[in-house]
Amino acid sequence: MTFVSAMFLLGALGVAGPIVVHLLARPKFKRLPFTMLRFLREGQSESQARRRIRDWIILLMRCLIIGLIAILFARPIWQTHSPRPAAHEVWFVGLDNSLSMTVRSQGADLLTTLKTQAKDRIRTCPEDSEFHVFFAGDNQWFAPMNQAQALALVHGMAPAQAPAQFGEFLRKVRSQSRTLDEETRVNVVLGSDFSPDVIMGLRGLMPSVGVDQLQVLCVQPDPGVTNAGIVNASVSAVGDQTAQIHVTLRNTGTQAVTRRLTTLPHDAKAPVEVTLLPDTYQVCAVTCPLPSPLASPQASPLPEFARGRAHTITVSFDGPDDFDADDEIQLNLMTPDQGTRHCLLVDQRATDRLFLFKTAIESLADVSLGVIWDTRCVTLDNLANTDLAWADTIVLAGVSEALIPWIEPLKRGVIQGKRLVCFMTELPESTTVLPMNQSGLWPVTWIEPTPESTQPEIQPQDSEWTDSRAGESLIQYGLDRMVLRESSHVRLEPEAQCVWRCKNGAPFVALRSLGQGVSIWINTSVDASLSALAKSPGAVAWAQYLVTSGQGSSLPETHDTWRDCEPVLQVTSPERIDQVTRALFHEGRSAAHEPEAASAAQVTHPRPLWRETAWLLLVLMLLEPFVAERIKP
């Protein structure tokens, strides 16, 4: 038993008071002559014996009362000891599943070897442990799970098309270790091939994190592993029926190799025989045929502008080696049908202010792809059905009441595959807004102008719809620094989509798909009345963004997906791996937080006794007057 305030125990010396009172209060008897003296002495002796016992009882009770008062102020604590229970363990498992882990070594790929080692380590953990699993190639966490779930997850781990990134893993371990109590053991399992790219990434993840145990699973290829494959590939030019492809090859082995470089669809010529010297790069040019364009416009319900040809070109570098992931690469290419695209620009009264926008559209001609833009400017008064039938893309400089008779013809054209671009120059009249909303052609259903100026966001929020070249150009031109002197707060239709916003939250560009076409609404003017975009250096990129986004880029893709696999044969020394991992995760978390007594074999459980002491004191204080009353003469 221990006391919180042992100094109050000195109050127990107060028991001397009842003892002194007891000694001084002994009864004194007087002798009286009496004839029956013998019987009197017997009765007196019997009364004194009972009284002496009761005196000692009352003395003991009073001493106990004083002692219990002192003990109550000292706040007694009763300590019990029990065996220390097993600490709860949390395991953070970070595994590298990038493409570099598919290298074969000693009859199996590195990923299979890593999965085997990780599962063996998980099986040795206590069954009640909690597991958090992170795949570095996918950059994905999996929710807390038990041992069986962790084993099944690791067993099904597949390679990812990305390099390993362990930054999120370190942040999660750091944040979780701070929230766990000191009795929980935090353990880390880190598995990878620890290629130079991985080591470089780990070096930039300081500061370190304290854990109870660190287990490093290092799986690396043998020094004799060979590999020759594709580093990257790109389409350099597109002809009438062929595409020119530049392929960068590399031999990371110690011996020269000769292999065939082929494409699918097959080369117009025979496959290219390539000889690569040890540890060298080589760029090869191959020609791949493209399918013929559509025979006639009647073969498709879409207008000529909307018809595009999507090609998937597969480049293969045949030959056996220890790494297959870089032996084949795919290029996606979207080329429009060769011909002329027709763009109709419509203004309310005059067409002079459309001159710059017209010039920007005509600047989009791509001679290498056979793309030519033919533009025509008309006013609403001179607009005819033949103009709508001729156009693939229709650009409206604004909305007015004179546009009401053309709403249904425009809607039919959009359903058939045309593109309608409408600039917001001023607030439309209510008589114009109602039929616009009823038609289902426009993305907006409610418009309220705001006098304050604003700016567009730095980039579109829907990058999949945005033409990649136009989006990058607009960012470079600093579109987010362009001030819109006026804008509008609008409510979009449920089927509409906002692909670009202003900094005040209002939509900047919204679109609505309708049939085979699309209707686009811009919260600014095509001329300089509300913004200077049409006169800025980014006018061509702005025009390209509006008239080509969503149709697929006419540029071929350039791939560089094997970046993390190039130095795969550069084996990192164990000393270097241990130095980097120990700098990230230092062991000894429990020793730094728990006192030395916590490492004992038993656990002490304190139990306050003030309630029991108070009840005993209360009972004695109630009994003491009753006992004292009974001993009166």
CATH number, span 228-335 = 2.60.40.10
- For 458, the token pair is 């730095």
β-pairing, 228-238 vs 558-559, is antiparallel
Residues facing 229 on adjacent strands? 250
CA–CA gap between residue 336 and residue 514 (Å, rounded): 21
Residue 267's contacts (CB-CB under 8 Å, 6 or more residues apart) are 286, 287, 288, 289
Q: What are phi and psi of 359, to 5 degrees?
A: -65, -40
Return the amino acid letter for 415.
I
Q: How far apart are CA 32 and CA 42, in angstroms?
A: 15
Tokens in use for 592? 């730094």
Inter-residue contact 322 to 274 (CB < 8 Å): no
Facing residues of 501 across strands?
A: 507
Cβ count within 10 A of residue 561: 18
Token code pair at residue 242: 């062929």
Check whether the bond before 595 is cis (ω within 30° of 0).
Answer: no
Which among 133, 122, 123, 132 has a CA at the least distance from the CA of 96?
133
Residue 538: DSSP 8-state: T
CA distances from 232 to 197, 263, 315, 321 (A): 18, 14, 10, 18
Residue 569 and residue 196: Cα distance in Å, rounded? 9
How far apart CA 261 and CA 327 sit, in angstroms, is: 10
Q: Report whether the peptide linkage leading into residue 265 is cis, meaning its omega lies within 30 degrees of zero.
A: yes
Instruction: For residue 154, report the phi and psi dihedrals to the nearest 5 degrees.
Output: -65, -35
Length of the chain: 633
- Closest CA relative to residue 197, chosen from 222, 166, 225: 166
d(CA 61, CA 325) in angstroms, rounded, equals 91
| 78 alpha-carbon distance from chain centroid | 50
Amino acid (one-letter) located at 470: A
Sign of CA dihedral 542, 546, 548, 552: positive
Three-state DSSP state, 259: strand
DSSP category for residue 370: T
- Per CATH, which fold does 89-212+573-593 belong to? Rossmann fold (3.40.50)
**8-state DSSP, 252:** -
CA 494/CA 57 separation, integer angstroms? 91
Per-residue model confidence (pLDDT) at position 132: 94
Torsion of CA 497, 501, 505, 507, to 10 degrees: -50
Spatial separation of the C-alpha atoms in residues 254 and 277, rounded to whole Å: 8
339-548 sits in which CATH class?
alpha beta
Q: Give the integer Cα–Cα distance in Å for 146 and 148.
A: 6
Give the residue from 133, 131, 136 showing the smallest Cα distance to 193. Answer: 136
Task: Supply angle C-alpha 138, 141, 145, rounded to 5.
Answer: 135
CA dihedral for 482, 486, 489, 492, sign (positive or negative): negative
- Cα(515)–Cα(485) distance, integer angstroms: 35
Residues of the chain with pLDDT under 70: 22-50, 81-87, 206, 239-240, 266-270, 291-310, 334-339, 366-370, 430, 463-464, 480, 486-487, 528-532, 534-535, 551-570, 589-605, 630-633
Name the token pair of 582.
């120990």
* Residue 102 CA: distances (Å) to CA of 34, 153, 574: 122, 18, 21
Q: Which token pair is 538? A: 């980014």
Concatenating the DSSP letter of every residue in 282-329 gives EEEEEEEE-PPPPS-GGGSSS-TTT-EEEEEEEEEE-S--S--TTSEE
Q: Partners of 347 in the beta sheet?
A: 379
* pLDDT at residue 532, rounded to an integer: 63
Q: Three-state SS for 275?
A: strand
How many Cβ atoms from other residues are within 10 Å of residue 582's Cβ? 13
Q: Hey, how many other C-beta atoms are within 10 angstroms of the C-beta on 373?
A: 21
Q: Can you tell me which residue has the tokens 């600047």?
A: 363
Closest CA to 340 of 376, 310, 315: 376
Which residue type does 544 have? Q
Residue intervals in the chain for CATH 3.40.50.880: 339-548
User: Which residues of the chain are in CATH 3.40.50.410 domains?
Assistant: 89-212+573-593
DSSP state of 253: S
C-alpha distances in Å from residue 463, one per residue of 336, 477, 499: 20, 17, 8
The Cα 124–Cα 520 span in angstroms is: 60
Question: Given the DSSP bridges, would you call strands 213-218 and 185-192 parallel, antiparallel or unpaired?
Answer: parallel
CATH 2.60.40.10 range(s) for the chain read 228-335
Cα 68 from Cα 388, distance rounded (Å): 104
The DSSP 8-state label assigned to residue 76 in this structure reads: E
Question: 371 phi and psi, to 5 degrees?
Answer: -100, 125
Of 324, 326, 315, nearest in space to 234 by CA: 315
Residue 248 near residue 276 (C-beta atoms within 8 A)? no
